[in-house]
Amino acid sequence: MYSATGMLMLLTAALAILAPSALGLDRAEFPPGFLFGAATSAYQIEGAYLEDGKGLNNWDVFTHTRPGDITDGRNGDVTDDHYHRYMEDVEIMRDLGVNSYRFSISWARILPRGHSGGVNSAGIAFYDRLIAALLQKGIEPFVTLHHFDQPQELETQYGSWLGTGIREEFDYYADVCFRAFGDRVKFWTTFNEPNVFAKDSYMLGTYPPNHCSSPFGTCNSGNSYREPYVAAHNIIMSHAAVVDNYKRNYQAKQGGSIGIVIEMKFYESLTNNTEDILAAQRAMSFEIHWFLDPLFFGEYPKEMREMLSSNLPKFSLAEKRLLQNKVDFIGINHYTAIYAKDCMLSPCDLNTYEGNALVLAIGERDGVRIGKPTALDGFYDVPEGMEKIIKYVDKRYENVPIYVTENGYSQHSSNGLEDLVNDVGRVNYMHGYLSSVASAVRRGANVRGYFVWSLMDNFEWAHGFTVRFGLYHVDFNTQVRTQKMSAKWYHDFLMGSRPVDALQTLRADY
C-alpha cells in the first residue's frame, strides 16, 4: 500500500509524462524583456495575521465578524502561510521558470495603525527578505501597494475610502515603501482593481466595510448610488498624489515605473440592436473609463456624468492638474468576456455588478454559452476576449504600455485531488489566452508582460477556499504545494520547448 504522500508523488510523476507542451505558442514571439510571471496578493497568501507587529486590517475584521459572508466561513489567518514559507515559494517560482513575480504589500504589516502608529520594522524586514530572495533567483518583483486590504484603524478614523483623510495616509504609506524598497523594485502599481473593490465594498456590500442600499443588498449602512463614486474619487486622487511623489522624488534615481491595475471584462453586445450595442459601451465605460478617463483625459466619461449626475463627484481645477501624466503603464486583469443586454428600454433585475450602468451581464445568447464555464459564476473561457480588450485599451489610451497583470482559471475545491492537479481546463485556458496576447503583440499593441493568477491556490475573498486558481495545488491542512499540469505546461512554454504532443487530444477530450 502507498501512503497518501506516496500516491501523490506517483500521481505527479504520471502527470509530468502526460502534461501537454505549449504547442503552437512560442515564447520567442514575445518581445525581448517581456515579463512572464505569476501573481498573488498579501491577504490571500500570507497568513501570520497577527505576527511580528502586524495590525488588523479590514479583511481580518470582516472575516472574523461576518463569517457568514464568506462561502465557507473561513478567513486568511493562515491561508498559504506564505509569511513563513516564502523561501519555498520563491524556489517554486524558480522551478516554474518565471522572470517576475507580482505580489502586494500588506499595508497593516508596514503601518499597523496607519501613519499615527509608526512604521513596523519587522514588516519592512519581511518584504526585504522576500525581495532579496526573488532577486537572488533572477525574478523581478512587480509590486502592488493596495490589493483590497488596509489597516482597520483607517476605517475607524476616516471611513476608509469615503473620507479624504485617507489620501494622505496612502501617500505616506507609499512613500515609506518607495524609500524602503524602491532601490530594488522597478515596477509599482498603486491599486489593484479599484473598480472591483469600490463596487464590492460600497455598492454590493460583499467586501468590507459591507456598505450598500436597496436594491443592491441589505446592509446596516451605505448608499449604493453614491458611495462607490465617492470612494473611487478618493482612490483616483490618491493614485495621482502617490505617482506625483514617485515621479518628483524617486523615479529619476530609482529608475522604476508606476501604473494602476483595472479589472476588465470584455462586454459583447447581446444582439445587433442599437440598445444592446449602447449597453455594451456603457458597461465598458462604467468598468474601465471610470478610472482611466480621469487619468488620461482629466474627466469622468460622458455616460457616467449623464447617468449619475450629482452622485458623481467633480474634479476641481487643481485636481485636474494633478491628474496629468500619472500613468506609466496600465495593468489589465482580464478573465472573461460576457454579453451585455440593455436595461434602459427593457426592464431587468438591476441589483447586480453592472446594474448601475443599466446593463445586465449574461453568459448565454440564444441558449449558447459565450465560452466554456469555469468554477466562478460569470467567468467563461473566451480566449479571443483577451486580444479584444488589449486592442480596446491600446486604442483608447494612446498605445500606452500594457501589462496583463492577471489572467487565470478557477476550479471547484470540491473536485478530487486528481482532477485538481490534472487541470487540463486551465492548460487549455492559458494556451488560448496566451495565444491571444501573442496575436495582440503581433498587431502592434504595446504589451510588455503577462502574469497568471495565481501562483498557488489561496483565499479567494468572499468565496473563501471553495475555488482554486493556482498553478500549484495547496493542501491547506499540511501546506504541501503540488505542481499542477498547468504549471508544467507554463514551465515548458517558458523554456521554449515545443515538442509535438498531446495537446490536440487533450483539447478534444476536454
By the criterion CB under 6 A, which residues form the site for ligand BGC?
41, 44, 192-193, 196, 263, 333, 406, 453, 460, 469
Q: CA 158 to CA 102: how far, in whole Å?
A: 29
Q: Which among 485, 475, 380, 394 is positioned nearest to 433, based on CA atoms? A: 380
The nearest distance, CB 463 to ligand BGC, in angstroms, is 8
The nearest distance, CB 146 to ligand BGC, in angstroms, is 11
Q: Which among 437, 369, 393, 374 is positioned nearest to 284, based on CA atoms? A: 393
The nearest distance, CB 103 to ligand BGC, in angstroms, is 11
The nearest distance, CB 490 to ligand BGC, in angstroms, is 17
CA distances from 66 to 106, 458, 509 (A): 21, 19, 42
Nearer to ligand BGC, 59 or 469 (CB): 469
DSSP, collapsed to helix, strand or coil, labels residue 368 as strand
Nearer to ligand BGC, 192 or 435 (CB): 192
Is the distance from CB of 98 to CB of 114 less than 8 angstroms?
no
Q: CA 377 to CA 52: how far, in whole Å?
A: 38
Helix (H) / strand (E) element for 295: namely helix 290-297
Nearer to ligand BGC, 169 or 200 (CB): 200
Helix (H) / strand (E) element for 395: namely helix 384-396
Nearer to ligand BGC, 182 or 408 (CB): 408
Q: CA 63 to CA 69: how far, in whole Å?
A: 8
Nearer to ligand BGC, 282 or 463 (CB): 463
Q: CA 203 to CA 209: how far, in whole Å?
A: 11
In single-letter form, the type of residue at position 478 comes to T
CA distances from 245 to 143, 228, 502 (A): 17, 26, 52
Q: CA 213 to CA 368: how far, in whole Å?
A: 34
Q: Cis bond leading into 309, ω under 30°?
A: no
Nearer to ligand BGC, 263 or 303 (CB): 263
Nearer to ligand BGC, 115 or 481 (CB): 481
Q: Is residue 406 flagged as an active site residue?
A: yes
In this structure, what C-alpha cell is assigned to residue 506? Answer: 487533450
The nearest distance, CB 466 to ligand BGC, in angstroms, is 12
Annotated catalytic residue, options 227, 263, 387, 406: 406
Nearer to ligand BGC, 115 or 426 (CB): 426
The nearest distance, CB 443 to ligand BGC, in angstroms, is 26
Is the distance from CB of 207 to CB of 200 less than 8 angstroms?
yes
The nearest distance, CB 399 to ligand BGC, in angstroms, is 25
Looking up cell 506625483 gives 244
Helix, strand, coil abundance in the chain, percent, nearest 5: 45, 15, 35
Q: Which among 96, 35, 125 is positioned nearest to 447, based on CA atoms? A: 35
Annotated catalytic residue, options 155, 193, 268, 287: 193
DSSP, collapsed to helix, strand or coil, labels residue 78 as coil
Is the distance from CB of 48 to CB of 84 less than 8 angstroms?
yes
Q: Which among 133, 131, 152 is positioned nearest to 142, based on CA atoms? A: 131
The nearest distance, CB 406 to ligand BGC, in angstroms, is 6
**Catalytic residue positions, numbered:** 193, 406
